[in-house]
């Protein structure tokens, strides 16, 4: 009778091996999430017509550009005076992407409009991962990327054939925040000439500029997120700073924030430089006006009734409707993630940790977008972004806790 061999599963060695190759594993999983996100959006790629009314408007804008037949005035808007042809970044990006892809594949123009939003939307998983990684870990980034790829409010408006700006709005929202957080986290107060925060700040400004050219009103709230982070984080640093009086605390906290202040200066100056040649001071006006949007957006008093209040997407929503648009699991884990960050903030108060700024930033991001979603259901898509990030952090923390328990079990069994 052959001698039986016993095989034991060494969990510690398996975990060490996985940790050793974590970068490669994370990349493979992220590519898998991208592929899955792209594939599920392609289920409508063979539909005969674009999926809604608005995509046909963008089809017309893009066709003018793709055919090198850009009119000075849009002949189908505001008759008889018309309006200048200024459709923004989205149709130009689509038109020139079409020319590039057609050169290699010969794809039909109308059919390309089905592929474009699905591909751009799927790209959003990469900056989502980046944000999760910056705020917590690779694991949080992977979970965040998955949630972004499949949140109902975004998925429904970025399927193949839904040729609208939503795909780029989410992509550049995420990319701008990812670049900003990377610059913010790499600040060295003792070395203001450090190149990485400067370069990342400029790239964040460029991404914000493209976002503005895509959707001026929707991009205007992003700078306020950054300002909110600075305000709360600076206030926190003043509270914990060394010193016997407020003046001394202010001095020590300022020394800490010199580099962070430089990030803001570079970002906003670069943003103005990128946008001023095309829009003048309009971007600054939009950033200022967005603070009163919820008071004026549905206001009456003009010559005609405010038609925005009759559009289904602009109507107020219940919390239940908002949760469904975001995705119930994402919303629940998002709230859990925010609570976890708050607990980390409390338990690490005054210590050298990244939890204070992480909690401040996610709170500042979630609060106005949640209010906006209740004010008009269309903004649930914007709420889905921070909720997905927070949900990713929650599962990242729970995953780390599970690994620690597995390691503890492995040690006990040896």
**What pLDDT digit, counting tens, does each position of 236-261 carry?**
888 887 877 878 888 777 777 788 88
Phi, psi angles (nearest 5°) of residue 73 = -125, 150
Confidence of residue 376 (pLDDT cuts 50, 70, 90): confident
To 10 degrees, what angle do helices 22-41 and 125-135 make? Answer: 140
Q: How far apart are CA 338 and CA 393, in angstroms?
A: 9
Residue 309 CA to residue 394 CA, distance in Å, equals 37
How far, in Å, are 36, 69, 78, 178, 252 from residue 125 at the CA level?
Answer: 11, 35, 38, 12, 39
User: Do 176 and 223 meet the contact criterion of CB atoms below 8 Å apart?
Assistant: no
Stretch among 45-59, 92-106, 186-200 having the lowest mean pLDDT: 186-200
Cα–Cα dist 338/359, whole Å:
7
Inform me whether the pLDDT recorded for 151 exceeds 90.
Answer: yes
Residue 151's closest CA among 276, 374, 328? 328
Distance CA 341, CA 345 (A): 6
Task: Find the distance separating the first CA and the last CA of the chain, reported in whole Å.
Answer: 30
Q: Residue 81 class from Cβ within 10 Å (0-12 exposed, 13-18 middle, 19+ buried)?
A: exposed
290 contact partners, CB below 8 Å, separation of at least 6: 217, 220, 221, 224
Output the CA–CA distances (angstroms, integers) from residue 149 to 79, 125, 161, 245, 368, in the order listed.
40, 6, 17, 49, 22
| Residue 7 binned pLDDT confidence (cut-offs 50, 70, 90) | very low
Q: What is the pLDDT of residues 102-147, one digit of tens each?
A: 999 999 999 999 999 999 999 999 999 999 999 998 999 999 999 9
Residue 4 reports pLDDT greater than 50: no
Confidence band of 16 (pLDDT split at 50, 70, 90): low
Tens of pLDDT along 311-362?
Answer: 767 778 899 999 999 999 999 999 999 999 999 988 887 776 667 889 999 9
10 Å CB burial of residue 394 (0-12, 13-18, 19+) is buried
- pLDDT at 143 (0 to 100): 96
51, 94, 96, 275 from 65: Cα distances, Å = 21, 9, 8, 21
Q: Which pLDDT score is estimated for 116?
A: 97
Q: Highest-confidence range of 12-16, 223-227, 373-377, by mean pLDDT?
A: 223-227
Check pLDDT > 70 for residue 13: no
169-204 per-position pLDDT tens digit: 999 999 999 999 999 999 887 788 889 999 999 999
| pTM beyond 0.85, yes or no | yes
- Which of 100, 107, 207, 210 shows the shortest CA–CA distance to 160? 107
What is the reported pLDDT for 10? 60
Instruction: Tell me: pLDDT of 9 over 60.
Output: no
User: What value does the mean pLDDT of the chain take?
Assistant: 87
Please state which of the ranges 1-15, 214-228, 271-285, 392-406 shows the lowest mean pLDDT: 1-15
**With 80 as the cut, is the pLDDT of residue 296 above it?**
no
């Amino acid at each position: 009778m052959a001698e039986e061999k016993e095989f034991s599963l060494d969990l510690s060695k398996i975990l060490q091996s996985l940790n050793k190759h974590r970068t490669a594993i994370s990349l493979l999983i992220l590519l898998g999430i991208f592929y899955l996100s792209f594939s599920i959006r392609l289920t409508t790629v063979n539909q005969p017509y674009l999926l809604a009314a608005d995509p046909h408007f963008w089809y017309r804008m893009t066709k003018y550009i793709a055919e090198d037949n850009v009119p000075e005035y849009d002949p189908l808007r505001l008759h008889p005076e018309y309006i200048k042809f200024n459709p923004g970044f989205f149709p130009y990006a689509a038109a020139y992407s079409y020319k590039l892809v057609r050169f290699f594949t010969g794809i039909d123009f109308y059919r390309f409009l089905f592929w474009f939003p699905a591909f751009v939307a799927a790209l959003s998983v990469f900056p989502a991962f980046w944000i999760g990684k910056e705020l917590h870990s690779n694991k949080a980034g992977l979970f965040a990327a998955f949630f972004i790829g499949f949140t109902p409010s975004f998925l429904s408006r970025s399927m193949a054939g839904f040729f609208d700006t939503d795909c780029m709005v989410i992509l550049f929202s995420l990319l701008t925040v990812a670049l900003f957080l990377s610059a913010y986290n790499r600040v060295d107060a003792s070395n203001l000439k450090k190149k990485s925060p400067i370069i990342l700040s400029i790239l964040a400004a460029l991404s914000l500029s493209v976002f503005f050219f895509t959707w001026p009103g929707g991009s205007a709230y992003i700078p306020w997120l950054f300002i909110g982070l600075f305000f709360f984080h600076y206030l926190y640093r003043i509270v914990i700073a060394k010193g016997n009086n407020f003046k001394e605390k202010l001095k020590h906290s300022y020394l800490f924030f010199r580099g962070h202040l430089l990030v803001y200066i570079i970002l906003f100056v670069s943003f103005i430089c990128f946008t001023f040649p095309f829009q003048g001071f309009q971007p600054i006006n939009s950033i200022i006006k967005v603070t009163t949007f919820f008071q004026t957006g549905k206001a009456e008093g003009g010559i005609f009734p405010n038609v925005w209040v009759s559009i289904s997407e602009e109507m107020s929503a219940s919390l239940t409707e908002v949760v469904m648009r975001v995705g119930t699991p994402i919303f629940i884990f998002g709230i859990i993630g925010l609570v976890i960050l708050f607990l980390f903030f409390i338990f690490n108060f005054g210590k050298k940790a990244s939890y204070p700024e992480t909690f401040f930033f996610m709170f500042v991001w979630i609060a106005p977008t949640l209010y906006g979603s209740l004010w008009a259901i269309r903004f649930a898509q914007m709420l889905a972004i921070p909720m997905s990030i927070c949900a990713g952090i929650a599962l990242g923390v729970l995953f780390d806790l599970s690994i620690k328990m597995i390691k503890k079990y492995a040690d006990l069994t040896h």
